[in-house]
């Protein structure tokens, strides 16, 4: 953007040159449906990987696509913000929806998504018993989600960050209420499940990426809300994770942490890799305050053997004291 608020002419020309080729238009249309790898795009288009990669590079250089590295993989998605994102949406709006070529691409994309969903489902089946055992010990997930929605009303949220997103359930919860969101997780297997779930729910404004909760890939505050749901008990340094989450929270933004209250189920350490056997209200609220946030009233939801606690917090507005 220029100082007058107009799109830079050179940026317009670069974008138009980037999309002025049939394969690149097909790539732009496909990436509007969600995150896709080079190999998936190659499979859909029936072209060689080097050729597809060259086209993707041109679209990324023009700012029309985002490139998201994830270990040895790279995902591509449509840019949705800024002048380039606006241009991408305008170009897509001009494409004929009934074109046979685009229709074939959508059919092949559906097949890729089915394969992705089956792989995610297989991993989930292999681990369902492990997760189900823990769920049976605490209050129903639906009650926790209802309280999260009360603590962070979706109507006040434009951009949500879900740290340790796992299956992407929190993104689904808020995304179905019109919130744009991004989830980060270190586990490629969990990200695979999350992507399949977001695909199934049709949530194009929510996506996931591989990331470290101690080093979030944003240089400045970018979110109106941050959720940390059942993650801290795996963390070596929970206070640092909270501080890093607070760093990317905008003034007036809200954070909600959901985890277990202190308990004595020691086998969760040896069998489920829990680092901490719950957290006291005092220590979590101290971490929240040390991160520059204002703690809110804590919510406790007792279960069979585990109590889920929800610790809300808010980033003060500029000049606001607490």
* 175 and 277 together in one domain: yes
Q: What pLDDT does residue 5 have?
A: 43
State how far the Cα of 287 lies from the Cα of 112, in Å rounded to an integer. Answer: 43
| Distance (Å) of CA 277 to CA 237, 261, 271, 304 | 14, 8, 13, 16
| 196 lies in some domain | yes
Contact between 164 and 231 (Cβ < 8 Å): yes
| 304 lies in some domain | yes
| 138 lies in some domain | yes
* 157 and 302 together in one domain: yes
* 203 and 253 together in one domain: yes
Helix (H) or strand (E) holding 35: none
State how far the Cα of 235 lies from the Cα of 222, in Å rounded to an integer. Answer: 23
| 104 lies in some domain | no
Domain final residue pick, 48, 80, 95: 95
In this structure, how many other beta carbons lie within 10 angstroms of the beta carbon of residue 67? 13
| 251 lies in some domain | yes
* 132 and 78 together in one domain: no
Contact between 115 and 44 (Cβ < 8 Å): no
CATH code of the domain covering residue 26: 1.10.10.10
| 50 lies in some domain | yes
Number of domains forming the structure of the chain: 2
* 141 and 279 together in one domain: yes
Q: What pLDDT does residue 3 have?
A: 43
* 169 and 215 together in one domain: yes
| 298 lies in some domain | yes
* 87 and 154 together in one domain: no
pTM higher than 0.75: no
| Distance (Å) of CA 291 to CA 107, 314, 316 | 48, 11, 11
Residue 241 token pair: 């994770």
* Blockwise average pLDDT, block size 10, the chain, 322 residues: 55 82 92 87 93 94 85 80 83 84 90 75 58 67 93 94 93 95 89 89 91 92 96 87 96 96 84 82 94 96 91 87 57
- Strand boundaries in 261-306, DSSP class E: 294-295, 299-302
| 321 lies in some domain | no
* 14 and 60 together in one domain: yes
Q: Can you give the residue range of the structural domain that contains 181?
A: 128-314
Domain final residue pick, 71, 95, 119: 95
CATH code of the domain covering residue 256: 3.40.50.150
């Amino acid at each position: 953007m220029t100082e007058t608020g107009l799109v830079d002419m050179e940026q317009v020309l670069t974008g138009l040159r980037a999309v002025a080729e049939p394969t690149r238009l097909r790539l732009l249309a496909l990436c509007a449906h969600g995150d896709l790898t080079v190999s998936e795009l190659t499979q859909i288009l029936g072209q060689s990987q080097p050729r597809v990669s060259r086209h993707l590079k041109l679209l990324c250089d023009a700012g029309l696509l985002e490139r998201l590295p994830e270990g040895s993989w790279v995902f591509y998605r449509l840019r949705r913000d800024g002048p380039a994102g606006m241009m991408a949406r305008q170009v897509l709006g001009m494409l004929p929806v009934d074109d046979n070529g685009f229709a074939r691409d959508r059919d092949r994309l559906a097949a890729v998504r089915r394969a992705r969903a089956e792989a995610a489902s297989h991993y989930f089946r292999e681990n369902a018993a492990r997760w189900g055992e823990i769920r049976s010990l605490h209050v129903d997930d639906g009650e926790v989600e209802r309280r999260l929605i009360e603590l962070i009303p979706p109507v006040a949220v434009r951009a949500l960050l879900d740290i340790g997103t796992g299956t992407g359930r929190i993104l689904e919860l808020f995304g179905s209420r019109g919130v744009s969101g991004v989830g980060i997780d270190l586990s490629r297997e969990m990200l695979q499940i999350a992507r399949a779930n977001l695909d199934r729910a049709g949530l194009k404004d929510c996506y996931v990426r591989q990331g470290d909760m101690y080093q979030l890939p944003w240089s400045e505050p970018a979110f109106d809300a941050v959720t940390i749901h059942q993650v801290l008990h795996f963390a070596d340094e929970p206070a640092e994770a909270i501080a890093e989450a607070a760093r990317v929270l905008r003034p007036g933004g809200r954070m909600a942490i959901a985890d277990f209250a202190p308990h004595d189920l020691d086998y969760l350490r040896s069998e489920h890799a829990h680092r901490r056997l719950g957290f006291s209200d005092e220590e979590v609220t101290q971490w929240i305050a040390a991160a520059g946030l204002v703690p809110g009233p804590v919510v406790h939801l007792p279960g069979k053997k585990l109590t889920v606690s929800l610790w809300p917090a808010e980033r003060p507005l500029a000049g606001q004291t607490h």
